[in-house]
Structure 1
Amino acid sequence: MAVQFSGSSASSESFASLQSDLAETLASAELAVADELFSALDVIDSSAALRRSLTDPALEPAARTGVVASLFGAKAQPSTVRILEAVVSRRWGAERDLGDAVEALAVSVVAAKAERDGLQGLEALESALLSFRRTVADSHELQRALTEQQAPAEAKQKLAAALSPQVSAEARLLIDRAVTAPRGLRPSALIERFAEQIAARQQRWIAQVTVAKNLDSSYLEKLSASLDKYFGRELKLDVVVDPTVVGGIRVQVGDEVVDSTVSSRLNSLSRKISR
């Protein structure tokens, strides 16, 4: 699933050109580069004036890249600065789109690092993120703890580490990022976005499957094959057990929802009766 931008199509075109022009840099960068990109994003997000200057089409690209060099040139690795300069040299339809691009490129660096360990490394990264998302989604108490604005970042990182103790360094970086700087989203929603980007790298989508009770492995295999055929591509199943669905199954892939739960049919009937 492609990265979504709030601005005009210019933002999507800019990001596509970035991915192409930076392909070698992103593929070979170490994990520290992703960490530095996230840190730079924090600086950008903290200043409206800086965001305006970095996205102002009236300023020449050289002037915008000069701002990046002055802010980060002495603090970050050359690869990090190169990526940031490439980002600000593009045109963005909305100020937030620039930050979203930096975030997505940081995730690309993390994914590429995992991918250098083979597809199994990329699969393990995706699975770790989805497992953490399910753990948090299943507990209102955890959701409150991770969204408490007054709680220090260190406390959230410590809780996240306790919930995902055996994950890779790549997964740890993305999980810590999601719980400490979700940028207006719920941490679980940002984790989901990260996982979708990694799934897209493997040319597949994530299917969120909600059921009333656990499904056995044979049923999951049949369901996976059926959904692959229905949507016309390979899907990664992210199964969530929710007793409130009252039987049946609900599948969401992107914006498309297939809902055959009893609760859905009852709600539909109720709407018809009330008309």
Structure 2
Amino acid sequence: MAADQFSGSRQSSESLAALRSELAETITAADLAVADELFTALDALDGSAALRRTLTDPAREPEARAGVVQSLFSGKAQPATVSILQAAVSQRWSAERDLGDAVEVLAVDVAAAKAERGGLQGLEELEGALLNFRRVIEDSHEVQQALTDRQAPAASKQKLAARLSPQATAEARLLIDRAVTAPRGLRPSALIEKFAEQIAARQQRWIAQVTVAKDLSSSYLEKLSASLDKYFGRELKLDVVVDPTVVGGIRVQVGDEVVDSTVASRINSLNRSIGR
């Protein structure tokens, strides 16, 4: 689930947003094993109410909660995994489950970041693999029954999932296996959809939505594309929208970052200034 889809309260949502910002570099550099270890840690959280209480207790200092993580996972998980978990328990969470939800988001972030090393195409392939698997599940009542059977071994569900998604990348395989073996109260297809939505949100970092008053020439688009790639530090895909209401100039949005030089924007700024 993406940050804006986080099921927790405002406090927990803010904590997750801060956490993802703080850990951006760590997540980008992490390998896929870190995502797998985060899911393992999530299983430990989901399986122990006492552990959840200990790691979300606001009466305990953040350092004390981080120390518990160190004692539990040091030597059993990669240093990057331990540092991510320590950062997570150092935040304030409104409910015990919110910590687990945040760890799940971070695990998907790591898998997405690994796929992202192949650029936008890598993320698109990951999202496509997840959505294709979701369609396969929803098209077969028998598959749905097999994947939601509580008596069926996890290994059997993984084997079935692998047979239904033979072309899945390592990142997709990890997320698919997670969804069919530990959906955390959801249907596997619903969890797959949440994973895909989170990955789709990450793709926006690679898409520049360009809003202009009139169509741009191909030569101008080439120059604009090169300038934006240099400015944002990565090869972006342009999505050009013609909107006469912008009056003139150009508005560019990449993820949450906006560069606006339109006349309409300057008029709005002037109006706000006059209104003060």
When normalised by structure 2's length, the TM-score is 0.73
Matched, 1:127 2:128: yes
SS in 1 for 2:3: coil
List aligned pairs for 1:28-67, cutoff 5 A. Answer: 28-67=29-68
Give the aligned residue type for 2:99.
L
Q: How high is the sequence identity, in percent, across the aligned residues? A: 75
Matched, 1:173 2:174: yes
Shift of 1:5: 3.4
| Equivalent-residue separation in structure 2 for 1:7 and 1:120 (angstroms) | 31
* Preserved contact between residue 174 and residue 191 of structure 1 (Cα < 8 Å): yes
* Preserved contact between residue 179 and residue 187 of structure 1 (Cα < 8 Å): yes
RMSD, aligned CA? 1.7
* Preserved contact between residue 7 and residue 94 of structure 1 (Cα < 8 Å): yes
| Equivalent-residue separation in structure 2 for 1:68 and 1:114 (angstroms) | 28
| Equivalent-residue separation in structure 1 for 2:3 and 2:88 (angstroms) | 17
Shift of 1:3: 4.5
Shift of 1:4: 2.9
SS in 2 for 1:179: helix
* Preserved contact between residue 23 and residue 84 of structure 2 (Cα < 8 Å): yes
| Equivalent-residue separation in structure 2 for 1:61 and 1:147 (angstroms) | 38
* Preserved contact between residue 3 and residue 104 of structure 1 (Cα < 8 Å): no
* Preserved contact between residue 3 and residue 13 of structure 2 (Cα < 8 Å): no
Give the aligned residue type for 1:30.
D
| Equivalent-residue separation in structure 1 for 2:194 and 2:125 (angstroms) | 16
Listed one character per residue, the Cα deviations across residues 141-193 of structure 1 (whole Å, up to 9, x for unaligned) are 11110000000000000000000011100000000000000011000000000
Q: Which residue of 1 aligns with 2:223?
A: none
| Equivalent-residue separation in structure 2 for 1:203 and 1:77 (angstroms) | 29
| Equivalent-residue separation in structure 1 for 2:8 and 2:25 (angstroms) | 27
SS in 2 for 1:100: helix
| Equivalent-residue separation in structure 2 for 1:23 and 1:94 (angstroms) | 24
SS in 1 for 2:184: coil
Aligned pairs, number: 207
| Equivalent-residue separation in structure 1 for 2:55 and 2:9 (angstroms) | 17
Q: Which residue of 2 aligns with 1:5?
A: 6
Shift of 1:202: 1.3
Give the aligned residue type for 2:158.
Q
| Equivalent-residue separation in structure 1 for 2:8 and 2:163 (angstroms) | 38
When normalised by structure 1's length, the TM-score is 0.73
* Preserved contact between residue 3 and residue 197 of structure 1 (Cα < 8 Å): no
Matched, 1:138 2:139: yes
Unaligned ranges ≥5, structure 2: 206-238, 244-276
Give the aligned residue type for 1:139.
S
Unaligned ranges ≥5, structure 1: 205-224, 230-275
Shift of 1:119: 1.2
Q: Which residue of 2 aligns with 1:264?
A: none
* Preserved contact between residue 35 and residue 111 of structure 2 (Cα < 8 Å): yes
Give the aligned residue type for 1:34.
A
Give the aligned residue type for 2:123.
L
SS in 1 for 2:55: helix
